Structure 1
Amino acid sequence: MAARYEEIASDLRERIMSGQYPPGSALPLMRDMVEEYGVSDITVRKAYGMLSREGLIESRGRAGTYVREHPDRVRLTVRNRQIERDHLGYYSGPETQHWRPLPHAGGELTKVVTAPVPTDIADLLGVETGTELTTRRRIIGDPDVETDRQLADSWIAPWVMQELPELAGHTGLGGTYDRVEEWEGKPLKWREEISARNPSPEEADDLRMPRTGVPLLRALRVSYFPARGQKGERVVEIQDIRMSAALYAVGYPLPRGTSAQWPVEPATGDYYQAPDAPEA
């Protein structure tokens, strides 16, 4: 059986989603909610806390509690994940062609640091977790729109830094990808893994997003060359891209796999019945 504060949160959630409390509107005062539901102010605070963690509402101190602009109510910008190129070099998708590096708190456009690599990126690079690697960190965004920005940390594979130590400094026109392709004499390939997690306080501040209630949309972009003379790949770099999930969605085509090539074979099983063993 649900706790009373969960029931109140469910009722308020339904009112928000139905538009009774539209984005930007104030919720009733705490004393009015206590009277309406016949509960203590502690119970109402728990219900508000639950909705705040979900990203539906936000406290504005003495001004009260308000319904947040939310993906269910606001049209997200769909980021089409594909590699494009113009006179400045490569960029990821037509929505960001006009974006540029923005200064960090210290004024740098790119921070080049040596840092211990996190586990998921270490696995993709084939190194031990915590290995000290060269990382190029940038904030990239629309110079005219404060919230349109992303964080991009470029973790460079150790073998690349041995071959191209200049990547620890200014990379020149076209950047890292151009230098690596010039050195190898062939084009890079890319793939991405999309996930979500909560932002750190520093990430939330850099992205101009709330510290709680809104997750990060995260894309790990793997840059690689096919391995020479064998199966597999040589990973060049992992770019850890983070943006506010309240502002952006990811869009991409769904190609037909080998088993779904047209014309297709007629279906022989009932989707709603217990699965049968595939025919030999």
Structure 2
Amino acid sequence: MPVPDRPAYLRIAEHLRDQIREGRYPQGARLPTMSELRAEHGVSEIVVRQAIALLRGEGLVETRRGGGTIVKVAPPVRRVAMDRYRVVTAPMAVPATTFTHDQRISWNEYRLDREFSRTRADAGLAELFEVAAGTELLRRRFVFYARGEPQQISVNYLPWDVVGDTPVADPANEPWPGGTLAQLSFLGHPPTRVEESVTSRMPTPEEAETLRMGGGVPVLTITRRLLSGPRILEVCREIVIPADRVILDFAIDL
């Protein structure tokens, strides 16, 4: 039996998708208008809207009020694990963190929103810290900005018996050059080991709004533990990064 034609909106979306990937419409370029696409493909406006909605759901384009449909600008950031941590543990001529290193931005282009609270370890955190449930912790939620744009959310936890009533527990001291690694060293517990596990999922509505994400884009979530000797001194649950803004590079010396 003959195979029926694919729906017109799928064919239009595929045509535009191929042109985007081939560079016909580079990042930041404006796609043809609705009227132009209707005339080119001989379809109704609703069909064109379905095609654009499909590309928007894939995270390829965004629609701006009065500005048409634009190919999304999302230059990927290279997050080189684990060598990136060596950068902030070395003597620094200028302030920096792993985030500013990844983003290739200066300290003046870096902004950090923060929320601090005192809490107790739930069952999941207790397992990650290898302590009893109910152990007191400092909870810190950060939103990281590069050049004014939100790029990353991080929620981390530190043992209250280590950081309580110290400058590390004061949000006024953020951002701290060198980040958490430098803070633990300041407290006399220099990190000796970093552990990370990476997963992916769709963002929560709050995460998508905070990070100004388009529809259809997943996030990478990183759970991190910092150890000083045998003791676990930080659990980050989680670092959340839009998947279309990052490349994870791994290098292992053999």
Same fold? TM cut 0.5: yes
Identity of aligned residues (%): 27
Asked whether the 8 Å contact 2:191–2:227 carries over to 1, the reply is: no
- Once residues 63 and 90 of structure 1 are traced to their aligned partners in structure 2, the CA distance between those partners, rounded to angstroms, is 37
Tell me by how many angstroms 1:139 deviates: 3.3
Which structure 2 residues correspond to residues 33-72 of structure 1 after superposition, within 5 A?
A: 33-70=37-74
Asked whether the equivalents of residues 188 and 225 of structure 1 are also in contact (C-alpha less than 8 Å), the reply is yes
SS at match of 1:166: coil
Q: Which has the higher contact order (CA 8 A, sep 6+)?
A: 2
Provide closer, same or farther for how the CA distance between residues 13 and 123 of structure 1 changes in structure 2, counting only shifts above 3 A.
Answer: farther
Q: What RMSD over aligned residues (CA atoms) do the two structures have, in Å?
A: 4.1
Residue deviations 1:104-154, cap 9 Å, x none?
3xxxxx421256989976753458999995311233455xx2237533321
Which residue matches 2:31? 27
- Is contact 2:98–2:179 with CA below 8 Å preserved after alignment? no
Question: Is 2:234 the counterpart of 1:237?
Answer: yes
The answer on whether the counterparts of 1:115 and 1:133 sit within 8 Å (CA) in structure 2 is yes
Relative to structure 1, the CA distance from residue 60 to residue 126 in structure 2 (aligned partners, 3 Å threshold; closer, same or farther) is: same
Pair 1:102-2:111 in alignment: yes
Q: Does 1:219 align with 2:222?
A: yes
8 Å CA contact 1:79–1:249 kept in 2: the answer is yes
Q: Which has the higher helix share?
A: 2
Point out the structure with max Rg over C-alpha: 1
Task: Give the direction of change, closer, same or farther, for the CA distance of 1:22–1:211 in structure 2 (3 Å limit).
Answer: closer
Q: Which runs of 5+ in 2 are unaligned?
A: none
What is the alpha-carbon distance in structure 1 between the residues aligned to residue 126 and residue 10 of structure 2?
Answer: 40
Note the C-alpha offset of 1:14: 0.7
CA contact (8 A) 1:189 1:225 kept: yes
> How far apart in 2 are the matches of 1:226 and 1:197?
32
Structure 2 CA distance, aligned partners of 1:43 and 1:194?
38
Structure 1: 5+ residue runs without aligned partners? 105-109, 228-233, 257-280
1:111 to 1:8, Cα distance in 2 relative to 1, 3 A: same
Pick from 146, 155, 160: which aligns with 2:148?
Answer: 146
Q: Are 1:155 and 2:153 counterparts? A: no
Of 246, 249, 254, the match for 2:247: 249
**Structure 1 position 28, deviation (Å):** 2.0
